[in-house]
Amino acid sequence: MLELSLIQTRGFTNVTENGTVTGFQFLLRMPNYRGVWGSLVDGIEITVDGQSFPANAARWTLGGRAYTLDELQRTEGLHWQLDELATITVPVQGGLKPGVHDLAVSVLLRSPYIPAFVLPLRFDDRRQATLVPETTDIPGGFKYGVSTYSFTGDLHTLMTLEDAMADIADLGATGIELLTQTNIPGYPDPSAAWIDEWHRLTKTYGLTPTNISSWVDNQMWLDRDLTVEEATAQLQRDMRLAHELGFTSIRPKFGVTSPELDPHPTWEETVLRSLDLAQELDVLILPEIHSPTPIKHPVTQGYIEFIDRTGTDHFKLMIDTGIFQTVVVDDGHPGFDPDEVPPFLQPLKVPASELTEILPYVGFVQAKFFEVDETVTDLHVPWRDVLTALHAGGYSGWLSSEYEGRRDPYRARDQIRRQHLLMRSIEADLHRHA
Amino acid sequence: MLELSLIQTRGFTNVTENGTVTGFQFLLRMPNYRGVWGSLVDGIEITVDGQSFPANAARWTLGGRAYTLDELQRTEGLHWQLDELATITVPVQGGLKPGVHDLAVSVLLRSPYIPAFVLPLRFDDRRQATLVPETTDIPGGFKYGVSTYSFTGDLHTLMTLEDAMADIADLGATGIELLTQTNIPGYPDPSAAWIDEWHRLTKTYGLTPTNISSWVDNQMWLDRDLTVEEATAQLQRDMRLAHELGFTSIRPKFGVTSPELDPHPTWEETVLRSLDLAQELDVLILPEIHSPTPIKHPVTQGYIEFIDRTGTDHFKLMIDTGIFQTVVVDDGHPGFDPDEVPPFLQPLKVPASELTEILPYVGFVQAKFFEVDETVTDLHVPWRDVLTALHAGGYSGWLSSEYEGRRDPYRARDQIRRQHLLMRSIEADLHRHA
């Protein structure tokens, strides 16, 4: 699906020709209620951060070919469809700096059935958009991914799973994290056609399945809990599904039995019975360390003791970076009393040094965040501390973006671009000073 | 795609069992970020127009089967997916009156990984929704359709063409009008696969293709106009496309040469050369009588003279009901100066009696409107006058809804429900008094 704004979030980037950055480009939705012949386009006025470009400055790419405005106006059979985004390329030596830009456009169109004195029709849009650089992971450094949880509310309403994947690839990430009960149509028994499509899409967008988030719903009935056999069956079914979809780890969220999030007492037996399968499928089982449970807490320490005791290398910790949060988030959370900040949104302020201590036990990092502002500053999570600890400890696994801020339509799509920009710039800094 | 609100526009209707109306139902989107087992649903509190129903009053339909809340909570493998709408059926003897209702819900869900003292999670929604009755056209009366123009802005962003078709069928209409340059991917050369899909969808939703709106873009280049041959080729290409897609009429909008909307002088020769093809394909050619051009105007009279002179029965008038508008619309119009009301939004106030005079020349009615309020009153178009004139003159053709009001997301979807309710209730009245 296309974004409602004319200027799309996806596709805002610099353009390199023969090794030189010669401009920037963005994707533009057809603003009129009907498509038009390319010859009826009268140009696009563009202002970026206060610098203006006249209507004929940009190149237009439509139907896979680039045109100057003059060339476009002389085309004969080219039709700009409503379901086709135009790529607008603006010549600026050196392009734009990676970051958040103020981008305004007026799209000018003629329409022969409208009297000439009214023409051209003028369609305006102005928004903040985040330009991401062409990126490659630093060898031996972090790997960058995004969880589809980030798109909560937008999926199935404003965007498809394929849109999410296109967004993730567009910002330079290479990993994708799914949620079993959220993203798999027909769960727990997706069709073979859907599984084929999943593999086709990951290939198309160059994405590696990272972790799948699942649940063991121990208290799914009112009158009794799952038996150990039933809980194990839930976990193992999802492990097989994870494996079939190409994921290399699974996060099972167990039912809890206390306000302190003590996991259901059957968790340990459930995992023990599944370690052989984890080995066989080579799928890591990752309990999530999530606010309000800090690192120095019996639950987390219980998992670590389990690892030490069993000697397994297929059970590790998933760290949700919400535990490092230093500032309260006051956005509310769907499903909860709006007058109360739920415990997991209270700043737990775990010091990053504690991460260093347990790093050998960490299998995955969910890069939870709530808001990165237009100066590319995170308002709640101290990324420099967290990434410094991970870097110093030699962590070379995934940072999987998990946006959990305001659920305004489309907001996540730009927020994850900002967050990746922020994390990558800190990592580059750490390598420069190494 | 699903609507962002939990309560969906589509699907709000009364329920008839064994000939008796036993309640009403609506479609509900899964409110949580993950799907849940049916057993984790704790019910739905519903208030309609101030009348409240407790959490266990409604029946839930999921996976094609209906459940009481108690039955739902005892299910074992039933999973409510994010891409699946639940049908909520509320028992009310006699159901609800057709019209706009104030509908509020709180959806209650348990989630085992969240501490029990916080549960159930509560997800609220409240909106106006329009209940449409089960309808059938009155024999010999009007036929009801909808133009996809109504969904401008929502198509490709919030809804697919199939969503539009589902909406149209859901409100009881049987006709669908398309726009060539708007709705046909790959126009002017749609793929065979798309054409097959179009026919499959019209069959699935029981919709009859009515009119296709097209353009002859006489001034598509800056340096010269289309020749008669080129204009004829544009029209005839679209006529063949219309026929292939099952449409029985085509509205060609010609380029204009004056502020009074005089059509390009080649219009007459273009149509003359196309009348044989119109006969062969049995496709009516319909010039549109659209504000600011009234009925008593040289352009309209020119078309009528053309019909009389040629004796053709394949060239008739399309009446856009915007010409009967009595009150100014102050919503603005995309592409135009926001400080000026464009001429076609000024109330032209054509008396309905003039429609009576030209009715033999009328082939199609585009039921243009801008706003029907929550009392099911149109603020701008005098429907009783218009429909009385059509009824008195024996018109039994299409009334094809064309919503042109504010382009707030999703707004059209409810507005067309209100408008159809209004038009049908007036028609029923006219038949009662006949």
What digits encode the pLDDT tens for the residues B346-366? 799 999 999 999 999 999 999
Residue ranges in A324-378 assigned as alpha helix (H): 352-358
pLDDT at A262: 92
What digits encode the pLDDT tens for the residues B262-310? 999 999 999 999 999 999 999 999 999 999 899 999 999 999 999 999 9
B4 belongs to a structural domain: no
Claim to verify: residue B216 and residue B306 sit in the same structural domain: yes
The kind and range of the H/E element at A86 are: strand A86-91
A365 belongs to a structural domain: yes
Of B181, B188, B258, the CB nearest to A34: B181
Which residue on chain B is closest to A151 by alpha carbon?
A: B33
The shortest C-alpha distance from A425 to chain B (Å) reads: 31
Claim to verify: residue A195 and residue A127 sit in the same structural domain: no
Claim to verify: residue B124 and residue B202 sit in the same structural domain: no
Of B1, B114, B157, the CB nearest to A4: B157
| CA B99 to each of CA B91, B129, B130, B131, B164: distance values in angstroms, whole numbers, following the listed order | 18, 8, 5, 5, 21
Instruction: Give percent of chain B above pLDDT 90.
Output: 92
A302 touches chain B (CB under 8 A): no
Interchain CB distance below 8 Å, A123 and B82: no
Claim to verify: residue A150 and residue A119 sit in the same structural domain: no
Q: Return the residue matching tokens 């995934």.
A: A398
Global pTM value: 0.96
- For A:318-357, CB contacts with B below 8 A are 334-337, 342
Chain A residues in contact with B122 (beta carbon < 8 A) = 335, 337
In chain A, how many domains are there?
2
Of B110, B118, B221, the CB nearest to A336: B118
The band of A344, judged by pLDDT with boundaries at 50, 70 and 90, is low
The shortest C-alpha distance from A335 to chain B (Å) reads: 5
A179 touches chain B (CB under 8 A): yes
Question: CATH number for the domain including B308?
Answer: 3.20.20.150
The shortest C-alpha distance from B414 to chain A (Å) reads: 17
* Mean of the per-residue pLDDT values of chain A: 95
Claim to verify: residue B373 and residue B266 sit in the same structural domain: yes
Claim to verify: residue B65 and residue B148 sit in the same structural domain: no
- Residues B229 and B265 sit within 8 Å (Cβ to Cβ): no
Least trusted range by pLDDT, from A328-337, B77-86, B314-323 = A328-337
A354 belongs to a structural domain: yes
Chain B residues in contact with A410 (beta carbon < 8 A) = none
> Smallest Cα–Cα separation from A92: which of A18, A43, A25?
A25
The shortest C-alpha distance from B27 to chain A (Å) reads: 14
pLDDT at A259: 85
pLDDT at A182: 97
Domain end point (choices B109, B131, B153) = B131
Alpha-carbon gap, residue A377 to A386, rounded angstroms: 14
A4 touches chain B (CB under 8 A): yes
Of B40, B187, B258, the CB nearest to A35: B187
Alpha-carbon gap, residue B423 to B420, rounded angstroms: 5
Question: Does pLDDT of A330 surpass 80?
Answer: no
pLDDT at A332: 67
B433 catalytic per annotation: no
Domain that holds residue B38: 13-131
β-bridge pairing A41-48 and A36-37: unpaired
Rounded average pLDDT over B50-71 = 98
Claim to verify: residue A99 and residue A148 sit in the same structural domain: no
Claim to verify: residue A300 and residue A421 sit in the same structural domain: yes
Of B182, B259, B334, the CB nearest to A123: B334
Chain A residues in contact with B161 (beta carbon < 8 A) = none
Q: Return the residue matching tokens 């603020």.
A: B379
B123 touches chain A (CB under 8 A): yes
Interchain CB distance below 8 Å, A215 and B256: no
- For A:358-377, CB contacts with B below 8 A are none
Claim to verify: residue B202 and residue B344 sit in the same structural domain: yes
Claim to verify: residue A303 and residue A259 sit in the same structural domain: yes
Alpha-carbon gap, residue A383 to B330, rounded angstroms: 49
Claim to verify: residue A375 and residue A259 sit in the same structural domain: yes
